[in-house]
Amino acid sequence: MLLITKGYPPSSWLATYVTVSIFLVALDEYRKNFHFSELKEDFFELSKKEVAQQTLINKNAQLEILQRNVHEWNDWRQESTSEINLSGINLREIDLSGADFSDANLRGINLRGANLAKANLQYADLRDSYLSRANLHRANLAGANLSGANLSETNFSRTDLSEANLSRSHLSGADFSEANLCEVNFSRANLSEVNFSRANLSESNFLSADLSGVNAQGSDLSGANLIGADLSGANLQEANLNGANLYRTDLCGSSLLNTILSYANLTGANLSEADLTSTSVEGTIFGNNRGLKEEDKANLRARGATFRDMPDSDVSAFIER
């Protein structure tokens, strides 16, 4: 045959040879890659198990140091560079006063009834944690994340919670008297019957929060976002709400004796059974309010208030805070 083709194989043979060669090379590569993929999956599965095991070892070791005493724990933290992970641990009713948990992962931790007075929890992750009836008097929780946490009847008196996240948390009956709550996110939180007396709540976000029956007497709520919040039956006597946004807020039956509402926005707010006779309303914006009679409006205008409707576009910036 090669004689007939002058020493060269027919073109059809050559094409077949090339095709088969390519197929065999591809098959060999596939086998290698498939085997490598299996090895890679086994390696990552093993790595996950090793990481989980090491995390558990580290968590148990940290817990052992903590349970000895707080002084030893704080000394160890000063020397150690390890990340603190006590997530999901049960430490209820334990005395941890003065303990250093700054930047720690405490997500889902159970600290019900624990004593954390003067503890350092700055920037700690306390999401979905349980701190009901705990004592956090004078603790440092600045920048901490307590979103979704159960904090009912907890003592936060004189505590620093500036710039903390308490959105969607449960705080009914908690005590925040004289606490620093500047720029805290309380959006959609349950704050019914909370004590905010003389607390600094300036620039805080209470979007759609339940504040029914709260005691905020003498508190600073200047510049706060209270859009859609429920403040029915609240004690706001002598509180400072200068420049606050109370768009569509429910103030039904609230006590406003000597309350500062200057330059606040109360458009659409429910003012049924709310007494505004001694409030400061210079530059305050009203409009579409339930509970206001014509003589009430005339009195408020004479004291420096204005009335207008507020379109939804004007509040979009506050809703996104």
Q: How far apart are CA 129 and CA 148, in angstroms?
A: 8
Per-residue model confidence as pLDDT tens digits over 16-47: 666 667 766 666 666 666 555 554 555 455 45
Find out whether 125 and 146 touch, Cβ atoms under 8 Å: no
Nearby residues of 157 by Cβ (< 8 Å), 6 or more positions away? 137, 138, 175, 176, 177, 178, 179
Domain ranges, ordered by start, for the chain: 12-68
Q: Output the DSSP codes for 33-66.
A: HHHHHHHHHHHHHHHHHHHHHHHHHHHHHHHHHH
Q: Is 314 in contact with 271 (CB distance < 8 Å)?
A: no
pLDDT in tens, 255-303: 999 999 999 999 999 999 999 999 999 999 999 999 999 999 999 999 9
Q: Name the least confident of 61-70, 167-176, 179-188, 311-320.
A: 311-320
What 8-state DSSP symbol labels residue 84?
A: P
The reported pLDDT for the residue numbered 27 is 61
**What is the C-alpha separation between 261 and 165, in angstroms, rounded?**
26
Question: Would you tell me how many other CB atoms lie within 10 Å of the CB of residue 152?
Answer: 20
**CA dist 28 to 36, 68, 72, 265, 297, Å?**
12, 60, 61, 74, 87
Q: How sure is the predictor about 58, in pLDDT bands with cuts at 50, 70 and 90?
A: confident
pLDDT at 3: 46
Distance CA 172, CA 180 (A): 18
Burial 205-237 (b: 16+ CB within 10 A, else e): bbbbbbbbbbbbbbbbbbbbbbbbbbbbbbbbb
Residue in 110, 106, 100, 108 with CA at minimum distance from that of residue 66: 100
The token pair at 145 is 């994340």
What single string gives the DSSP state of each residue in 233-290?
T-B-TT-B-TT-B-TT-B-TT-B-TT-B-TT-B-TT-B-TT---TT-B-TT-EE-S-B
User: Which helix or strand (DSSP H or E) is residue 307 part of?
Assistant: strand 306-307
Tell me: the pLDDT tens digits for 110-139? 999 999 999 999 999 999 999 999 999 999
Q: Would you tell me how many other CB atoms lie within 10 Å of the CB of residue 91?
A: 20
